[in-house]
Amino acid sequence: MMVLLLALKITFLGTSASIPTKKRGQVSIAIQRERDLLLFDAGEGVQRAIIESKIGFKRSMKIFISHLHGDHCLGLLGLLQTMAMMDRTDSLQIYGPNGIKKFISVNMEALNFKLTFNLDINEIGEGIIYEGLDYKIISCYASHSRKSLSYVLKENERPGIFYPEKALELGIPKGELWSRIQNGETIVIKNKTIEPEKILGPARKGIKIGISGDTRPTNKLVKFFKDCNVLIFDSTFSDELQDKAIETLHSTAREAAKLAKEASVEQLILNHISTRYAKPDILLKEALEAHSNVKVAEDYMIVNISNID
């Protein structure tokens, strides 16, 4: 039996809510998928976090901004300038809510710096906003104090498990034809057409990763994040500050966990942690009372996900 293996690597570059601490930078999450680097939010100091994480500045990169609050976007200008100073030449795409084009252009003019690469800025709403190789990025409006977006990375459905013994029984020699079948192609050998279904198991779901940005929990987000393998969700406060969460349009750790359970999420990662919680044990405790698989995000924490069954 052969299985194609493709890993996604999530690196938390910053995990603090609003104000950085000694241990937590402002919010940014990097997802590496093959050669693609997908960056979600860019708080201040994100370029230093990228250096610390040894991710690199010159690879294929897309940036997705949830909303125009400083702790989620002020690192963009420093990041762009750093990449220009390192002579990046590959184009860079940025996606975000209305106003992001003006935010970047006004600040670039004020700081008086030029880029060495083409910058493609896209103001987006809801829906499929980017399609890569075998995956897509989808956006959905969150519930926050200004227009804010949540994101999902969703892989396309994958071909089923490849059974080499079945291929040999049908007279298919090992090599290029096996690879084509693994990719779901129908092949012809000795005037005989062989469908991939004769050799592959049932099709398998792709990986799904959700990133909430800043938000209150909503039924809309329950549907949006349905069946995520990993959900990274706003968990700014503990139960005792429930009123403040409602007032500021954030979520508590317990609320994040309840939403994750309702959405049948495999693993929940609490993010955007208030500076009140130097040790976020209370957030983890309260979340675990509602969902059995929870972690608290820490700066430079890495989560690897593979599509192996």
Q: Catalytic residue positions?
A: 71
Phi-psi region of 276 (alpha: psi -120 to 50; beta: other; left: phi over 0): alpha
Q: How many CB atoms lie within 10 A of CB 118?
A: 10
Nearest-angstrom CA–CA distance, 300 and 8: 15
Torsion angle (degrees, nearest 10) of CA 211, 213, 214, 217: -30
Nearest-angstrom CA–CA distance, 195 and 199: 8
Decide: helix, strand or coil at residue 251.
coil
Nearest-angstrom CA–CA distance, 172 and 153: 35
**What percent of the residues of the chain are helix, what percent strand, and what percent coil, each to the nearest 5?**
30, 30, 45
- Beta-sheet strands, E only, within 124-184: 127-132, 135-141, 149-155
Strands 187-189 and 61-64: unpaired
- Cα separation values, 213 from 47, 65, 143, 272, Å: 20, 9, 10, 8
Nearest-angstrom CA–CA distance, 143 and 24: 24
**Amino acid occupying residue 76:** L
Q: Kindly calculate the radius of gyration of the chain based on its CA atoms and give it in whole angstroms.
A: 21
